[in-house]
Structures are given as C-alpha cells and as structure tokens.
Amino acid sequence: MSGQGPEQRGELELVRRLRALLAQPSAGRGVSAGSPAVEFGDDMAALPTGDGGLLWTVDMLMDHVDFDSAVHDWAAIGRKAMAVNLSDCAAMAVVPVAALCAVSLSNQLTMQNAVDLVRGAHEYGLRFGCPIVGGDTNSWNAPTVVSISIAARILPDRPPVRRAGARPGDRIWLSGQVGGSLLGRHMTFEPRVELALQISRDLQPHAMIDVSDGVALDLGRLLEASSCGAVVEAVALDAAIHADALRLAQQDGRPAREHALQDGEDFELIVVLSPDVPPQACQRLGLLPLGQIVAELGLMLDDAGCRAPIPVRGWEHFR
C-alpha cells in the first residue's frame, strides 16, 4: 500500500484504468482490418478473422459470490456460468457458436459434482447451438471458480449492437421486468439471445446492454459509452418492477424502485431505439418502455415533471 492515504477502489475505476492501459495504439496489432468495430469494455470483443465475423467474451463465476454450492446443485451452477455469457451475446445481438470452460474445482467436490458442473453448462449451451469444445481443469483448496468463454458469429447483414450508439431523443426499452433476482431468478434466467436477434433485424437498435449489475449501473455504462444522459420515467419504471422486487422490498424495507434500479443479475436487455420505431412494434416483442436518451449527462428520474438524479449504483466488484 502506498503512503498516500486510501486509494480509489472499485471495479468501475479498475476498468477505466485497464481501458487506458489496453487501448494503447500497439494493442491493435493483432486485429485485422476485417474485424468489426467494437470498443474496449463492451459486452464482447472482436476476434480477428479473415471474414471479420466473430466476437468473443468471458465471464468468471465464484462460489459464495455468484452462486452458493451449499444451496445450488452443480448442474444449475454450470447452467448459470453458460447463461451469463449467452446474455453477453444477446447484448451484442450475435449468434453464439462455441464455448471454452475453465474451472478451479474445490478439492471437496466429487468427480460427479465436477462432471455435473460441465454438463450443466454444456447442455444449456447446446440449446443455443453453443457446445463446450475445450477448456482447462484445475483443483485447489479454495472455493470453486468457473470461467466460460463464448465465441459468437455476427449476423450476415447486421453489425453487432454496441453500447456506444445511443443518441439524444432515442427511446429506452427493457426486455422484461427487473429487480429482486436474488430470490431465485439469478440462477434460472433465460438469456435473451433470440429476442436480441429479432430486435436487431426488425428494429435496428442504436445501442444495447444486458442488466448484469443493475439497471442504473448498466444503463450508466451505456450512457458513458454513448456520451449522453437519460431520463427514466417513474410511471414506466413502476410498470417494469418485477414481482420479486416487490417481495424483496417487503422483506428488507428498501423501496421497490431501488431494487428495480440497483439489483443485478436480471439479464434483461436495455434496448435503445430510434424514436421513429413505432411503439406497437416494440410492444409486439414484449418490450417495456423505460425512458429516453437526452444530451445532458447523468441519469435522472422524472416523477410527474419533478426530476431527481438516480445514483449510478449497483453490484460493483473490488470495493
């Protein structure tokens, strides 16, 4: 530790520093001219292929953080490890094709536990055409870690949907209700891969992101990437509060709106569309309105004309 007092911590700050480190000009050497344009820090990164058509991503899950092996069975844990990656594919509107799976197994696991973990991931991946094709197996005297990487194919006529394309005047939609996933949905959610492809084909979205760390935090990331702000409408937000958020609010006394804005692991999509897209086309796909993009930076809640800032707060590692 340096002698300069408490350092600034947090995953957001760490990612900012890593972006500065990794975005050096030399970092582009391995990327061919045919690679799709995706900024560092988006849900997936571009892979340099001859035809410029692949993205890839990785997500790491840890026992007692992202799952609890005392409660959840190993196949369900493997399923989640695959599903969070598939959700990244949904966020970019690309088609998952194959996965790698690396594990550090607690030495307390049985062989059957280990096989169940990989089977749960593999079988769920297969439902999306995304088998596990390789990986790395390790063990140690510490809690289990599982890390899955997915490669995904870009749709023939549609570029990947980035975080950075939102513009003032655009409308913000949600693919489903949010909040309270901790009551169980964080283990059983269905990544919105098919829906995302349909949105990409039919509605030409300007930007998308999946809700992994909470609507406020993830919408905040999209706004930062797009250099604009947003206003969430209170009436729309209230209609997007999941029943689990209401139940959780009753249990812990925190407002349900706070759960809807700050709870992570909903894995619904935040979809930013041109104002020209007819609302009926969105509603036909089950999208719920949330608010709109504005030029002024920051995230605001508009409650019957009265505006208050929404804290960009949610699940953040490394605090």
> Which residues between 42 and 81 bind a second copy (CB under 8 A)?
42, 44-51, 53-54, 56-60, 62, 64-65
Q: Pick the closest to residue 278 from 211, 223, 210, 204 (CA basis).
A: 204
2 in contact with a second copy (CB under 8 A): yes
Q: Tell which positions 234-253 bind a second copy, by CB under 8 A.
A: none
Tokens of 287: 């999208």
97 in contact with a second copy (CB under 8 A): yes
Q: Pick the closest to residue 284 from 126, 210, 197, 175 (CA basis).
A: 175
Q: From residue 84, how far is each of 91, 171, 295 by CA, in Å?
A: 11, 25, 31
DSSP character string of 108-160: TS-HHHHHHHHHHHHHHHHTTT--EEEEEEEEESS--EEEEEEEEEPPTT-PP
Nearer to a second copy, 1 or 308 (CB): 1
CA dist., res. 116 & res. 3, Å (int): 48
| Burial of residue 179 (number of CB atoms within 10 Å: 0-12, 13-18, 19+) | buried
Q: Which stretch binds a second copy (CB under 8 A): 136-144, 177-185, 241-249, 256-264?
A: 136-144
CB distance 79 to 120 below 8 Å? yes
Among 73, 76, 139, 182, binds a second copy (CB under 8 A): 139
Least distance CB 32 / a second copy (angstroms)? 8
96 in contact with a second copy (CB under 8 A): yes
Number of residues counted as binding a second copy (CB under 8 A): 84
Q: Tell which positions 103-132 bind a second copy, by CB under 8 A.
A: 103-105, 107, 109-112, 114-115, 118-119, 122, 126, 129-132
Q: Pick the closest to residue 125 from 157, 101, 91 (CA basis).
A: 101
Least distance CB 126 / a second copy (angstroms)? 6
Least distance CB 50 / a second copy (angstroms)? 4
Calculate ∠ Cα 12-15-20, nearest 5°. 130
Least distance CB 266 / a second copy (angstroms)? 18
Nearer to a second copy, 42 or 263 (CB): 42
Identify the DSSP state of 310: P
Half-sphere exposure for 18 (CA within 13 Å, toward CB): 9
Nearer to a second copy, 108 or 204 (CB): 108
Nearer to a second copy, 116 or 244 (CB): 116
194 in contact with a second copy (CB under 8 A): no
140 in contact with a second copy (CB under 8 A): yes
165 in contact with a second copy (CB under 8 A): no
CA dist., res. 73 & res. 67, Å (int): 10
30 in contact with a second copy (CB under 8 A): yes
Least distance CB 25 / a second copy (angstroms)? 10
Q: Tell which positions 288-317 bind a second copy, by CB under 8 A.
A: 317
Residue 81: alpha-carbon gap to chain centroid: 13
Identify the DSSP state of 268: P
Q: Pick the closest to residue 117 from 148, 145, 76 (CA basis).
A: 76
Nearer to a second copy, 71 or 111 (CB): 111
Least distance CB 60 / a second copy (angstroms)? 4
Among 67, 75, 124, 147, binds a second copy (CB under 8 A): 147
37 in contact with a second copy (CB under 8 A): no
9 in contact with a second copy (CB under 8 A): yes
